[in-house]
Structures are given as structure tokens and as C-alpha cells.
Amino acid sequence: MAFQIKQKGPVYDVCIVGSGAGGGMAAKILSEAGLKVALLEAGPRYDPADPEQMTQLKWPYESPRRGAGTTRPFGDFDAAYGGWEIEGEPYTTKQGTKFDWFRSRMVGGRTNHWGRISLRFGPRDFKHKSYDGLGDDWPIAYEEVAPFYDRVDKMIGVFGTKEGMPNEPDGFFLPPPKPRLHELMIKQAGSKLGIPVIPARMSMLTRSVNKDRSPCFYCGQCGRGCSVYADFSSSSVLVNPAVKSGHVDLYDNAMAREVLSNNEGKATGIAYVDKIDLEEYRVMARVIVLAASAGETARLLLNSKSSRYPNGMANASGIVGKYLHDSTGSSRAAFLPQLMDRKRYNEDGVGGMHMYIPWWGDNKKLDFPRGYHMEFGGGMRMPSYGFVNAIESMNGKYPGRDGQMKPAGGYGAGLKDDYRRFYGATIGFAGRGESIAREDNYCEIDPNVVDKWGIPVLRFNYTWSDHEIKQAKHMQDTFEQLIHEMGGVPLGNKPGPETMYGLENPGRIIHEVGTTRMGNDPKKSVLNKYSQAHDVKNLFVVDGGSFVSQADKNPTWTILALSMRASEYIMSELKKQNI
């Protein structure tokens, strides 16, 4: 059988792999500069305003499973296709360690469902080793990234307030929405405990930033993708407009196989399999930009072996895949008796919290390094599968309307009334913290396993250390302090040492970064401080792979800022004919 690899399109100026935050930003900046861009995406096109794809404003009964997460892990209406397991695309783990890898194959990638919590890293976050001796410092400082954060704020839009906190830099904010009832209660409890509760910083448009996107209309469903583009997703805000401009050729359902290179070691293109016609293709370009996600980019580089690059491309250091790290996460729910029999009103608000808790602790007085921020949820949310589970654990503990106690569980009109009474009286807290990047937490190519296109898959090796476990314990203690201060009742048993204090599996927070980290020493890093591969001058990485350390912040805003910075560096290097 003739097995032909066909070339698609002309030789492009730039070929970008991946259309999430990093790839979307690179596509926008580079195409607006007049470069001819090819953008490869492993999944289908996506537009939340397309009636065929839209899930916003659907009612639970429009889904036969009432919004349950059977096929989409975050619920039937969630915008992200894919999940922890994708048929025919396995990954493995080593030595009994755990790593859960969330992949979203679609234009916009995981920005379609993320929480849109948009935090800048602070000055300390880029130089943390200088403070506590752990991990490594970034080769860049906050001041170098700040101008790009500023531009991302204005281009995309993020609400928040100027607080003047040293490691939570302020930006160009849109006005935040007013807090919800339970958020005011948490704020009150926080102020008694010395825990700051401030307006959240999220990328939804409380006011428009340009004429192409409307302001938020408060349905609380950003995770479903917004049909008026009031929320940020790479698809709605970066990729689809860039494709419409005519300067970006989008190759969807294109699963990248390897980075091609020539005799001089320069990257020349990407080989991919088209998931629809199952034919093999290649796209050629002068510059290759990888934005496939920390995991997929490492996989792509490690699979790009040649006689010149026996360990994979850009991997003379052997560092590709190492220093993989995800945020820590632990959570607890509580019942607030004072919220029983609540007066009803629409409190959907934006899709997520209106307030949050930035890290407030002083590590000198604590037994773990680094910090975490706290998120919370609650309120009279849209009913969805699972939202009234296990009432027998609640309705025997509180007196009925008549003031009398009754046995837990039951049936009939009294039970039906209990569901009404308990509705909207539950809140949840979650901590999201910084783990220490370690060389011995890594992903590599599994020597024995391929996916359904024959591409060797990743094998993960990841463990938590005492640092992260103690941090999770601190989270659990803080949740209980806040809950008790509010007069609430923590639900379930307090997670203890047997579960590492509820510390989620690595990967579970979907903030994994660090696999192609930047640095000044080519022996200890994959990229230089402009996200350019030390070994291959025309190869760049603009996803979370470049992170040296994760901070107690969500990575997206920093991915966007660094991708913008790298894209402008690419242009200046092209102009100087250095690449």
C-alpha cells in the first residue's frame, strides 16, 4: 500500500499547534502582524453561538440525563469536549503513581470550560527560590511581564479591584459584580478571622471592551460557553476572529504526530494525521510554535526523534517532560442553617464566584512553603442532576416548619417540602495552591503503548511531597474555621491523613505546567526566557510548559501574557533574520 504524506497549504510563516490560550494568543498576534499562519487543532471547530453546539440557557430537562456528567465530566452542558479519559487516546502512569490528565480536543481547548479566574503572578511568584530556597527562580521578573499582563487585561477583559496587595498585582480591571448573599457571609467571617475576602478577578465582561463582544447578562453559565462572547475563551475571543480575518488557516481534527526538522536541525513543519479522513499530512513553516498543552507539547517533542535529536527535539538537556507540576486542591462543603427557607430571587450572577480569598498566610509561621487561594460556591443554582442527593444526611438534624424534629430520610409531602427548605443553603470551599516543581515528577514516552493513530503516549510519574500534604491540611483547618465562624455545619467527615487531607490526585486541578521550562542555563532548561528552544532557534513553546513554578494562581493569564511576549519576540527575530 502506498503510504503517502501529503503537504497541506503553502509554506507558512508560522505553524502553531494547539488553539487554547497560548495558541490562540499567538495566532492573533502573529496574524495581525501580517504573517501567514497555520493553526493545527486536534479537535473540531467550536462556536458557542452555533445553535448545533450551544448549551447556554438550556434547561436541565433538555438533557435526558439532566445535566449529569456521564459523557462530559463537568456536566452535560459543559462546553469542553473530551475529559479525563478519551477513547483511543490512553496515557499511563508509572510505579503506582497517579496523574489524571484532562484533555479537551476542540478549538479553544480547555479555555472553553475553565473557571475564568484570571490572576497575575506576583513579583514573588517569579523569584520564589530566592525567598524559600525551593525549586528555581524564573529567568524573568514580574516587571518584564507586567506590560503584557496590562495588554491582556485590556484586550480580553477581567473584573476585579485594586487592592495593593504585594504579591497580588492589580491590573486594568472592569468593575466587579456585587457579592452574593453567601459571599457577604464569608466576607464577614473572614474579617473576624483575619482572612481577606476580596472581589474575584475573572474574565467576564461586566462592561464591553470592544464592539465584537457584548457585556455579561448574568446567566451564571460561563462553563457552557457564552453565545454573546461575554466570557473569555480562546475560541470566541482569539481564534475565531483571527480565522475570520483571513490570515489564519485553521486545520481542525489535525492530530500532530511530530515536529519535522532538516539537516541543519531547524524545525521545518508538523506531521499530523487528519482524524476525519485518516490520511497523513504535513504543514511546513519557517517558525514552529507549540501550544498543545504542557503534556501534549512534551509528548510531541519527545516523539520528534531523528539522528540529530535522538532524545527528541529541543531535549539535549534531557529536561523535556520533567518538572511537571499541577496545583494542589482540597475542598469541603457546608450547610448554613440560617439559609433554610430562603427567599427566592435570581442570583445566577456571573459563572462563578464574585469574591475570593487570595493567599494571606506568612510562611515563616507555617510548616509548609508557598500558599493557596480559596474559591467558593453556593447559592440558588439551577437544579441539575445530583443537586438534591442524600437528603437523609440533613433533614433529621433540623426542626421542621412546625419546630419539631423528625426522623432523617422519609417520603411524602413532608419530604417534598424539605427539598424546598434546604435548597440554596449549601456552600463549598476549595483551596488551590502551589506545589514545588521537582525533577522527579515527570512525563515521558511509554515504550510500549501507542494511541489509535500509532502515536506513542505519555507515561506519568508524579507524587506529592510533605509540602503539599501539609498545605492541604491547612486548607481543611481553614475551611472549618470559616464554616464555624459563619455558624455553618461542615458536611461529611473532615478529610484526615488517610486521604492526605483531601488532596486531589495530581492533574486534577488541570493546571499542569512546567514540562519545557524556561531558564538561562541550557543544561537545566528547555526554553530561553523568550520561550524559544535553546537547541532549535525557530521552535517556540507558548503553553504552560514554559513555567518554572506554578504560583498559587491559575495559569491562564500568565500563559496569555507570555504567549503575547513570545509572539512579539518571534516577529522581531524574523525581522532581524535571526530565525
Q: Binding to other proteins (CB under 8 A): which residues in 127-166?
A: 154, 157, 159, 161
CB of 390 to other proteins, least distance (A): 7
Strand 92-93 and strand 280-290: the pairing is: unpaired
Least CB distance to other proteins at residue 541 (A):
29
For cell 482540597, name the residue.
Answer: 330
Length of the chain: 579
Strand order in the sheet with 489-490: 372-378, 426-433, 328-335, 489-490
Number of residues that bind other proteins (CB under 8 A): 88
| Rounded least distance, CB 318 to other proteins, Å | 35
Sign for the CA dihedral angle at 556, 70, 374, 159 comes to positive
Near other proteins in 9-48, by CB under 8 A: 44
Measure the CA–CA gap between 56 and 77, rounded to whole angstroms: 8
Nearer to other proteins, 81 or 368 (CB): 81
Among 123, 220, 265, 361, binds other proteins (CB under 8 A): 220
Largest Cα–Cα separation, the chain? 84
Residues 176-215 that bind other proteins (CB under 8 A): 176-181, 184-185, 188, 199, 206-211, 215
Dist. CA 213–CA 154, nearest whole Å = 13
Q: Kindly identify the residues of this chain, within the stretch 81-100, that bind other proteins according to CB under 8 A.
A: 81
Q: Which of residues 556-575 bind other proteins (CB under 8 A)?
A: none
Residue from 410, 428, 490, 522 in contact with other proteins (CB under 8 A):
410
Residue closer to other proteins, measured from CB, 139 or 179: 179
Distances (CA, A) of 382 to 66, 73, 83, 353, 387: 11, 18, 23, 15, 9
Candidates 420, 452, 494, 523; binder of other proteins (CB under 8 A) is: 420
Nearer to other proteins, 119 or 570 (CB): 119
**172 counts as binding other proteins under rule CB under 8 A:** yes
- Candidates 9-17, 19-27, 70-78, 136-144 — which segment interacts with other proteins by CB under 8 A? 70-78
- Closest CB 449 distance from other proteins, rounded Å: 14
Binding mask 241-280 for other proteins (x = CB under 8 A): ----------------------------------------
Interatomic CA distance for residues 69 and 331, integer angstroms: 19
76 binding other proteins? (CB under 8 A): yes
The nearest distance, CB 50 to other proteins, in angstroms, is 9
Name the 3-class secondary structure at 361: coil
Cβ distance to other proteins smaller for residue 129 or 381: 381
Closest distance to other proteins from the beta carbon of 12 (Å): 29
Instruction: List binders of other proteins among 384-403 (CB under 8 A).
Output: 384-392, 396
Region near other proteins per CB under 8 A, out of 17-25, 74-82, 300-308, 427-435: 74-82
| Closest to 529 measured CA to CA, from 539, 541, 520 | 520
For 483-505, letters b (16+ CB in 10 Å) and e give: bebbebbbbeeebeeeebbbbbb
Distance in angstroms (rounded) separating the CA atoms of residues 321 and 315: 9
Give yes or no for residue 68 binding other proteins (CB under 8 A): yes
What are the grid coordinates assigned to 567, written together? 509572539
CB 516 within 8 A of CB 541: yes
Stretch that binds other proteins, among 56-64, 110-118, 268-276, 521-529 (CB under 8 A): 56-64
Q: In terms of DSSP bridges, do strands 372-378 and 355-356 run parallel, antiparallel, or are they unpaired?
A: unpaired
Grid cell listed for 60: 436541565
Minimum distance, C-beta of residue 499 to other proteins, in the bound complex (Å): 22
Give yes or no for residue 70 binding other proteins (CB under 8 A).
yes
Residue 328: enclosing H or E segment and its boundaries?
strand 328-335
* CA distance readout (Å), 316 to 122, 304, 356, 523, 538: 31, 13, 42, 8, 16
Q: Is 74 near other proteins (CB under 8 A)?
A: no
CA dist 533 and 536 (Å) reads: 5
- Stretch of residues binding other proteins (CB under 8 A), selected from 29-37, 66-74, 300-308, 356-364: 66-74
Rounded to a whole number of angstroms, the minimum distance from the CB of residue 242 to other proteins is 22
The residue within the footprint of other proteins, chosen from 244, 401, 416, 452 (CB under 8 A), is 416
Q: Does 449 bind other proteins (CB under 8 A)?
A: no
Q: Report the site for other proteins in 359-388 (rule: CB under 8 A).
A: 380-388
Contact 41, 315 (CB under 8 A): no
350 contacts other proteins (rule: CB under 8 A): yes
Q: How far is the CB of 253 from other proteins (least distance, A)?
A: 12
The answer to whether 490 contacts other proteins (rule: CB under 8 A) is no
**CB 121 within 8 Å of CB 145:** yes
Instruction: Examine residue 67 and tell whether it contacts other proteins (CB under 8 A).
Output: yes
Three-state SS for 543?
Answer: coil
Question: Within 10 Å of residue 45's Cβ, how many Cβ atoms?
Answer: 18
Task: State the amino acid at position 267 in one-letter form.
Answer: A
Q: What CA–CA distance (Å, rounded) separates 80 from 3?
A: 34
Instruction: Please tell me whether residue 411 binds other proteins under the rule CB under 8 A.
Output: yes
The residue (of 31 and 426) whose beta carbon lies closer to other proteins is 426
Using the contact rule CB under 8 A, the part of the chain among 9-17, 51-59, 288-296, 475-483 near other proteins is 51-59
432 belongs to the binding site for other proteins (CB under 8 A):
no
The C-alpha torsion from 68 through 73 and 78 to 79, rounded to 10°, is -150
Question: What count of other Cβ atoms lies within 10 Å of the Cβ of residue 405?
Answer: 12
